[in-house]
């Protein structure tokens, strides 16, 4: 499985240093949560953070828009250097329009499904989706507990994706740790987004090794 490091859990006083350290240890993506204080009562990162990280790392940067009206902010994050832009499906009034806008900017278009938003609602957009992110917590905060029913949701979605002939990479975001990593591997998750379990870990190298199937 690939690892996307969610920097919401980083010590932002040393953000660049932490990202470079993780890059050396073999993580695969940098995950930047953008939270606007409206969609959830928290704040995340800005385009400036993306731009600054873009300067120091070659890792792909995924921007996770946990904001209202995401269609207004796609260009600014694209210009800042995001490689993948992920929108919360429940915030998109015109999903096809925003997904196509992201792709027209030459970026990968990701869709995140909140725990209680069904995969069914998304199926008609799948031709325009490059990455499917299953939220295993309500979006907006790091350090929450993994909702175990997400496993069943992913299993069902995998079956449907196969029936429909799609092979879209699947990620999981929220509460991922060594206690649920094997379950996620078993159901065929491709990418795990990890915040607290990685950044607060005293032995990051070992954690990364274990997640990657060591
Ligand atoms: C939650 C964010 C996640 C979060 C994950 O809204 O989208 O990316 O930072 O953090 P942990 O791994 O601590 O749940
Ligand atoms: Zn996220």
ipTM confidence score: 0.99
User: Which among 66, 58, 100, 56 has a CA at the least distance from the CA of 83?
Assistant: 58
Domain ranges of the chain: 2-211
Nearest alpha-carbon partner for 170 in 145, 195, 153: 153
Q: List, chain by chain if needed, residues with CB within 6 Å of any ligand 1 atom.
A: 6, 8-9, 31, 33, 64, 66, 137, 139-144, 173-176, 193-197
Contact 108, 130 (CB under 8 A): yes
- Tokens 């873009």 belong to 54
Q: Which ligand is nearest to the CA of 144?
A: 1
**pLDDT tens, position by position, for the chain (214 residues)?**
999 999 999 999 999 999 999 999 999 999 999 999 999 999 999 999 999 999 999 999 999 999 999 999 999 999 999 999 999 999 999 999 999 999 999 999 999 999 999 999 899 999 999 999 999 999 999 999 999 999 999 999 999 999 999 999 999 999 999 999 999 999 999 999 999 999 999 999 999 999 997 6
pTM, 2 dp: 0.98
**CATH class (in words) of the domain with range 2-211:** alpha beta
Nearest Cα neighbor of 40 from 175, 140, 114 is 140
Which residue has the least CA distance to atom 4 on ligand 1? 142
């Amino acid at each position: 499985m690939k690892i996307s490091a969610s920097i919401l859990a980083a010590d932002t006083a040393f953000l660049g240093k932490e990202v470079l350290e993780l890059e050396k240890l073999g993580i695969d993506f940098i995950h930047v949560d953008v939270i606007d204080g409206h969609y959830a009562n928290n704040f995340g990162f800005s385009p400036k953070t993306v731009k600054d990280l873009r300067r120091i790392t070659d890792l792909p940067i995924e921007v996770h828009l946990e904001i209202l009206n995401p269609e207004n902010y796609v260009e600014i994050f694209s210009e800042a250097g995001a490689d993948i832009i992920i929108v919360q499906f429940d915030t998109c009034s015109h999903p096809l329009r925003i997904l196509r806008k992201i792709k027209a900017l030459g970026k990968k278009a990701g869709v995140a499904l909140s725990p209680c938003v069904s995969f069914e609602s998304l199926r008609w957009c799948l031709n325009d989706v490059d990455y499917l992110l299953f939220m295993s917590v309500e979006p907006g905060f790091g350090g929450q507990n993994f909702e175990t029913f997400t496993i069943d949701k992913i299993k069902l979605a995998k079956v449907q994706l196969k029936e429909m002939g799609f092979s879209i990479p699947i990620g999981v975001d929220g509460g991922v740790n060594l206690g649920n990593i094997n379950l996620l591997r078993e159901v065929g998750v491709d990418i795990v987004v990890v915040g607290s379990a990685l950044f607060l870990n005293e032995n990051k190298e070992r954690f990364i090794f274990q997640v990657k199937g060591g």
